[in-house]
Amino acid sequence: MAKCNHCGTETEIPYECSFCSGMFCEDHRLPENHNCRHAPARTPLGSHQAKQNLLANARAKERQKEIMISEGDYHFKKKTLPTLDLTKEIKEKKRKFHLFKKDDEA
């Protein structure tokens, strides 16, 4: 039987923290549950811009269409149709919106 260093509860099977070497109960065994000072800092999973780039690439793949072209009875070829690039139009709409917003606020 050992006492939890965080809450003082006696537990039969204590957990040892690999960062601070303290003994903890089942509820406080994780470093974030017992506010471990020696645990490494948590890092975010990725930047907002990286996620936006992934979404834009996925949308571009969805817009890309493929068709099958027959070249005889048993031979077919895939042809990729050109995709529409709407980024210029979107940027222009955003610019107009921001200009409109600035005029409206003044």
Q: Where are the domains of the chain?
A: 1-39
Question: Could you tell me which residue, 29 or 64, shows the higher pLDDT?
Answer: 29
Average pLDDT over residues 59-87: 70
- Percent of the chain beyond pLDDT 70? 73
Question: Could you tell me which residue, 2 or 64, shows the higher pLDDT?
Answer: 2
DSSP class per residue in 71-98: -SSS-EEEEEPPPP--HHHHHHHHHHHH
Q: Residue 83 corresponds to which amino acid?
A: T
Question: What is the CATH architecture assignment of 1-39?
Answer: Irregular (4.10)
Average pLDDT over residues 36-64: 78
Radius of gyration of the chain (CA): 29
The burial of 34, by beta-carbon neighbours within 10 Å (0-12 exposed, 13-18 middle, 19 or more buried), is given as buried
Query: DSSP secondary-structure letter at 9?
Result: -
- Among residues 9, 49, 37, which one has the least CA distance to residue 25? 9
**Entry pTM:** 0.41
Please determine, for residue 36, whether its predicted confidence score (pLDDT) is greater than 70: yes
- Among residues 42, 47, 50, 23, which one has the least CA distance to residue 34? 23
Please determine, for residue 37, whether its predicted confidence score (pLDDT) is greater than 50: yes
Q: In the prediction, which pLDDT does 52 show?
A: 82
